Structure 1
Amino acid sequence: MKKNEKLNTWLWKWHFIAGLISLPFILILSITGGIYLFKADYEKPRQKNIKEVAVAIDRISLDQQWQIANKNAVKKPNALLLPTSKHHATEFISGRFSGQSSVFVNPYTGEISGEIVTKETDMYTIRKLHGELLMGKFGTKIVELIASWMLVLILTGLYVWWPGRGWKLKGFFIPRIGEGKRTFFRDMHSISGFWISGLLILILAGAFPWTDVVGGNFKKLQEMTNTGYPDSWKGHQLQSQHKAEPITLDQIAIKAEALHLTGTVKIHFPKGPQGVFSVSNNNPSDLNSQKKIHFDQYSGKQILSNDWQDVGVLMRGRMWVMAFHQGEFGVWNWWLMFFTAIALTIMSGSALISYILRKRKGSWGIPKVPITFKIGYGIIIIIGILGLVFPLFGASIIILLIVEYIRTIKKKRKTILSA
């Protein structure tokens, strides 16, 4: 591909400016993302005394356990997880996502073995640092803006990296070692960026569903196109046929176990006398196996069953990239995400070192674009599309254009005054 050198310089300029501004945030995101991958390994030994109990001969009923949990939980439990081992305490869950808390009941003694409040865990803090820089909604917007610019950095970086005068192994695919520190760190930045560029785009796709603006717009698109979860998935419109006594938790647990669902199986409690029991499984490593089945709380009869094929295509795609982003598809996915986090940290660090080595005293070192250069319509259209898809990026472009316009006016005035 023959490169337009003026366009290359212009793209390098904005790649340089955007990278300089984004660099501290990208380092935080890559480091915290890498740390969060160790969530299960970090929490398992620390929560072992809460989640695991000594096995005894007799077990108390799930209804009795629920009564105990209800008296001791911060909030009234709305679901329970089916234990997968005789050594596991029964987990009763209140709330969802960041507002979730779990109380654990020893199924043999009826004692509370402990409680885990999501917001009070160390990994919750890491996740909040990764997702919102510990600054709430404002921090979420900053992370979303940085993620939008990261996509632009990848695209502009690939163009700048692309060899305009023939392909060479060194300098394009492996770093040059014997040509000085500046060349080495520049190569480390550009080459590592090339090797992980595709992965980074996929990882960013998995990050945007959590954002406020892009994620919110995506949810609206799902609603408009009816490609999210079906209404029957949550079962709000379903009703139990009211009778004298509802079935017990042990009875619904037997029905849930008979379904042979893979992953973590949850029993959702009925909401009110006409509500239903709902059984679902969470299995990110095999999304196709996920189901949600609703039962009449009095007769125990199955009312409705949904599987993954009933979920809209946009939601299925969204859940896939989100699971990939968190390394949930197995060991290979975990190592791929961990490798990418390390590579992104190296890429960012080498960019900073390369900049320090090339920067002259009293100058920012921003590449100078020829005055005669004019942006083509193709570039304008691409920027416009990116601005529409990523509104915060579009807003930042408008601000940059205003700043650039003011600077141009000031330069003209100075030229006129000096003349």
Structure 2
Amino acid sequence: MTKHTVLTDAYRVVWRWHFYAGFLVLPVLMLMALTGGLYLFKSEIEDALYRPLSRVEVRDQRVSPDRWVAAAQVGLGGQVSSVFVPERADRAVQVKVRTEGGKRTAFVDPYDAHVIGSIPGDGLMGSVKRLHSLELFGRPFNILVEIVAGWAIILVATGLFLWWPRRRDMAVALPRAGDPKRRPFWRDLHAVTGLYAGAVIAFLAITGMPWSAVWGDVFLAQMRASGLGRPPAPAAASPWGHSEHHAPAGSGWTMEGAVMHAPGHGPASLSIVIATVESRGMARPYTVSIPGDPSLAYTAARLTEAAEEARSLYVDGRTGEVKADARWSQFGIGAKAFEWGIAVHQGQQYGWVNRLLMLGGCIAVWMLGISGLVMWWKRRPRQRDGQIGLGAPFAPPGPRARAAVLGLVLPLAVLYPLTGLSLVAAIVLDRLVSVFLKSRSEFAR
């Protein structure tokens, strides 16, 4: 076998798996790209949607924050879990309330504690976020995020392998003039889009992993155990606890679920907590989480743009004593890396340049999906020609050809076990389909 033939065989095998990866995950990737692109403009969309609820008249003095809580609880008939304090003086505070019918967000005028109105849950963008992570469909679909992200990286790696110039073949770096009715036009569009957007797509896939239900939880636990994650609790305070039910809102990946005990006697007060938070110089906007367990401290988490602005204050609601003040400088190197990755992923870290770059990656996913679909349609199997199957590229036999694919995907399968399991399932399915199609072809003859 000549060197050129081996290279061609490897190319065909990689092409086959690039086809399968796209066939399996591009529809989900396109959904995630659409919802992710919308979420990049969360503040603008919410401002437009909820303007009648969020705008208030600025007056001389605000009423006690405890009155915000009381008004929301009476108005919506539930228990308050958190209060969002906006940056601007002409904006309503947003009070999250747990009711018998589910969570709702009340918009409360901070100057007179009037409940202007309410929306279900976290509103439209909350639903978009849950759809983006597939949590809207339940935990099994959130697990699918990890598999899809892993296959997205496989798509980028195999796509780069296919694009790489070989001997007489010149790699396409710019779109070439062509007829949109013909397949080469769409092939060039697909290749150029993948070339320039592949790194962004791979980055989005990798930095989206902390939200996955298996890998993200395991990695987060390892960061905590190794000292590379959240800072140690202050010596004078109780150790960090972990609670899913009373998890502080808006505290970020590093402090997610972290709670601290503040045992004491007497009623707690949001007014005391907010007075302490502002005296400690925490910049607005921030969210104060009110724990349902009276033995836990209140948590104030700053809503940040850049990762290094992260800060969480743990305050005793009875005395105003600060139990912990967790800042970026105290985070471990692993936590800093992931907080930075998440901030870039969400288009926040570097302003509009960051946001537009992530938006470009989302648009590129759709361009790749559409161009890939058109290419498949133009070379799809036709019954009249005696062709059957999905139209996947032919995979020549030989261990050296298969080694090309294993060299690309095996490291990812080790790093992301669910992707590895799905890869094994795909290989088994591929073999079964090949055997079925072969037997069907022999039967037809």
TM-score (norm 1): 0.84
Look up the match of 2:249.
none
Q: What is the aligned partner in structure 2 of residue 282 from structure 1?
A: 303
Q: Report the CA distance shift for 1:398/1:65 in structure 2 as closer, same or farther (over 3 A).
A: closer
Instruction: Specify the code of the residue in structure 2 equivalent to 1:141.
Output: I
The CA deviation at 1:177 is 1.0
Would you say 1:342 and 2:342 are equivalent positions? no
Quote the residue 1:176 is aligned against: 176
- Deviation per residue, 1:30-54 (Å, 9 max, x gap): 2232233333222212212222222
- 1:305 pairs with 2:308: no
Where is the helix percentage greater, Structure 1 or Structure 2? 1
1:148, 1:91 → 2: CA distance?
Answer: 37
Q: Can you give the 5+ residue segments of structure 2 that lack an aligned partner in the other structure?
A: 234-254
Q: 3-state DSSP class of the match of 1:78? A: strand
Count the aligned residue pairs. Answer: 408
2:246 corresponds in structure 1 to: none
Unmatched segments (≥5 aa) in structure 1: none
**Counterparts in 2 of 1:98-247, with a 5 A limit?**
101-118=104-121, 121-132=123-134, 134-165=136-167, 168=170, 172-178=172-178, 181-230=182-231, 232=233, 236-239=259-262, 242=265
From the superposition, tell whether residues 267 and 30 of structure 1 become closer, same or farther in structure 2 (CA, over 3 Å).
closer
**Using a 3 Å threshold, how does the CA distance of structure 1 residues 412 and 176 change in structure 2: closer, same or farther?**
closer
Name 2:380's counterpart in structure 1: 359
1:290-323 residue CA offsets vs partner (Å, 9 max, x unmatched): 2223344444343432211222332322222222
User: What does residue 92 of structure 2 align with?
Assistant: 89
Q: List aligned pairs for 1:1-150, cutoff 5 A.
A: 4-57=7-60, 59-94=62-97, 101-118=104-121, 121-132=123-134, 134-150=136-152
Flag the 1:55–1:188 CA change in 2: closer, same or farther, 3 A: same
SS in 2 for 1:64: helix
Shift of 1:198: 1.0
Partner in structure 2 of residue 323 of structure 1:
343
- Which amino acid is the alignment partner of residue 337 of structure 2? G
* Structure 1 residues 385 and 91: alpha-carbon distance in aligned structure 2, compared to 1, 3 A threshold: same
- CA distance in 2: counterparts of 1:176 and 1:182, whole angstroms: 12
- Per the alignment, residue 394 of structure 1 pairs with 420
Q: Deviations over 1:111-153 (max 9, x none)?
A: 211223335x333343333322853233333343222211111
Query: Once the two structures are superposed, what CA deviation does each residue of 1:19-71 show, in whole Å capped at 9, x if it has no partner?
Result: 22333333323223223333322221221222222234454222233222232
Secondary structure at 1:324 match in 2: helix
Q: What letter is aligned with 1:69?
A: A
Deviates more, 1:8-17 or 1:214-223: 214-223
CA displacement at 1:275 relative to structure 2 = 4.3
Further displaced range: 273-282 or 38-47: 273-282
Percent identity, aligned pairs only?
A: 24
Q: Deviations over 1:390-416 (max 9, x none)?
A: 223222222233345556777999999
* 8 Å contact kept, 2:13–2:402: no
Note the C-alpha offset of 1:324: 1.8
> Could you tell me which amino acid in structure 1 is paired with residue 311 of structure 2?
K
Name whichever of 52-61 and 314-323 sits farther off.
52-61
2:312 to 292, 295, 302: 292
2:208, 2:345 within 8 Å by CA — same for their partners in 1?
Answer: yes
Letter in 1 for 2:95: F
Cα offset, 1:199, TM superposition: 0.9
Of 275, 283, 289 in structure 2, the residue corresponding to residue 254 of structure 1 is: 275
Give the partner amino acid of 1:361.
R
**Structure 2 counterpart SS, 1:304:** strand
Structure 1: which amino acid aligns with 2:65? L
Q: Deviations over 1:220-254 (max 9, x none)?
A: 32243233324636774443665x786x5445433
With the length of structure 2 as denominator, give the TM-score of the two structures.
0.79
**Higher mean C-alpha displacement, 399-408 vs 60-69:** 399-408
CA change 1:131–1:249 in 2 (3 A) is closer
Larger mean CA deviation between 372-381 and 157-166 belongs to: 372-381
Please give the alpha-carbon distance, in whole angstroms, between the structure 2 residues aligned to 1:108 and 1:416. Answer: 80
Counterpart residue identity of residue 289, structure 1:
E
| Of 273-282 and 148-157, the range deviating more from structure 2 | 273-282
Deviations 1:58-105 (A, max 9, x none): 54222233222232345422332334333222333347xxx8643232
Residues 93, 100 of structure 1: 8 Å contact kept:
yes
Q: For residue 262 of structure 2, what is the amino acid of its counterpart?
A: Q
Q: Alpha-carbon deviation of 1:336? A: 0.9
The alpha-carbon deviation at position 160 of structure 1 amounts to 0.7
SS of the aligned residue for 2:400 comes to coil
Q: How far apart, CA to CA, are the structure 2 residues paired with 1:225 and 1:375?
A: 40
| 1:29 counterpart letter in structure 2 | M
Query: Is the contact made by 1:65 and 1:105 (CA closer than 8 Å) also made in structure 2?
Result: yes
Q: Is the 8 A contact 1:235 1:294 kept in 2?
A: no
Structure-2 separation of matches of 1:53 and 1:415 = 72
Tell me the alpha carbon deviations over residues 157-202 of structure 1, each in whole angstroms, 9 at most, x when there is no partner: 100100012685xx51112213773111101001110111111111
2:272–2:318: 8 Å Cα contact kept in structure 1? no
* CA distance, structure 1, for counterparts of residue 42 and residue 294 of structure 2: 39
* 1:377 Cα offset (Å): 5.7
